[in-house]
Chain A
Amino acid sequence: MKSLVKTVFIKTLPVMTGYIVLGIGFGILFHSKGFGLIPSVLMATLVYAGSMQYVAINLISGGASLITTAFTTLLVNARHIFYGISMLEKYKGTGAKKPYLIFSLTDETYSLLCGEDYPENVDSGKYQFMVSLFNHCYWITGCALGSIIGSAIPFNTAGIDFCMTALFITIFVEQWLSVKRHLPAIIGLVSAVVCLMLFGADAFLIPTMVLISVLLILFRKRIGGDKNE
């Protein structure tokens, strides 16, 4: 148990840094619009979606209608459907932990759990649960801290959010080095860049995921659905 905690802590360390920083950013911003600790923690606990929470600050402080809020959430978070599809098999047989695992499936948790690099001799459901819970706690802590300390951070943190980019890059490189066929990775890269140019920074995620799915299915024979090791 102790070694599992340690393993999970080390594995989630990059997410901890990122979540604390981004959470503080959220807390500060939400605070500046006149919302205190309780709404910030409530949002971090119940919504638990980074980019959506930033969007929500604008919606709520601008007094958006509930219908607008619902639709915006639908658009910003629709990508989560694809994470779910990807985790269907991995979350099988996780029993009572499953609802929480699904609820807490953020971009970062997904990035840590979608691969094959699970620790040995550990119940995978337990491992998934701990990683999810640790990440959730980091996020809540960050959002609470930001709300409390306001903007009084003693050192220049500009650029520290790059750690999230770096996390995704290391996972990408790790995946690239561990498989022989790189077509899925290339499909993802090309689709994202093309859709970014076509649809712009605010609206390219969903088209990208649709394009990725279509291309993966078109190239199914070449990718070979059976083995990628």
Chain B
Amino acid sequence: MNNTYLVLSILLIAAVTAALRFIPFLVFSKGKQTPKSIVYLGKFLPYSIMAMLVVYCLKSVSLLTYPFGLPELIGVTVVVVLHVLKRNTLISIAGGTVCYMLLIQLVL
């Protein structure tokens, strides 16, 4: 393991990641009009992607083995209920997280 390999690897990962982030902005540059279908996707993707990110966070939960995803289910429910009632992001997140931590550390 040498430093050149380490630095090269980090720079490479950084370059590929940045390239992926820049691609849409370079392809649909300001000179040309962005295609309507892309603008449409851009507008509605956030609603779909947020659902995907929630699933992504819960992807490793096992429903078939103990504790059957119960801590996650309860945590998610607490967040949703708190948020519908209070509409305060910090309260929802703190409430759900504390509840989840207590469940996995002390109960289940």
Interface residues of A (CB under 8 A from B): 10, 13-14, 17, 34-35, 39, 42-43, 46-49, 52, 56, 59-61, 63-64, 66, 69-70, 73-74, 77-78, 80-89, 91-92, 98, 102-103, 105, 107, 110-111, 114-115, 156, 158-160, 162-175, 177, 179, 184-189, 191-193, 196, 201, 204-205, 208-209, 212-213, 216-217, 220, 223, 225, 228
B10–A43 contact, CB under 8 A? yes
Interface of A is mostly: helix
The answer to whether A168 and B53 touch (CB under 8 A), given A158-B101, A159-B105, A175-B46, is yes
* B53–A105 CB distance below 8 A: no
Decide if A14 touches B79 in the complex (CB within 8 Å). no
Nearest B residue to A60, CB-CB: B9
Which B residues are in CB contact (< 8 Å) with A111?
50, 53
A-B CB contact pairs (8 Å), 9 listed: A56-B10, A83-B21, A86-B46, A103-B22, A166-B92, A187-B51, A188-B48, A205-B56, A220-B40
Q: Which 10 A-B pairs have the closest CB atoms?
A: A188-B48, A84-B24, A188-B51, A184-B47, A192-B55, A165-B57, A46-B14, A159-B101, A114-B46, A189-B51
Q: Quick check: is B64 within 8 A (CB to CB) of the other chain? A: no
Contact A84 B76 (CB under 8 A): no
Tell me the bound Cα distance from A195 to B63 in angstroms: 17
A216-B44 in contact (CB<8A): yes
Partner of A170 from the list B39, B72, B92 (CB cut-off 8 Å) is: B92
| Alpha-carbon separation in the docked complex, A186 to B38 (Å) | 20
- Bound together, the chains give a CA A188 to CA B46 distance in angstroms of 9
Which chain A residues border B41 with CB–CB below 8 Å?
Answer: 85-86, 213, 216-217
From known contacts A170-B92, A185-B50, infer whether A162 and B44 are also in contact, taking CB-CB under 8 Å. no
* A63 vs chain B, min Cβ distance (A): 7
Interface contact B20-A191, CB-CB below 8 Å: no
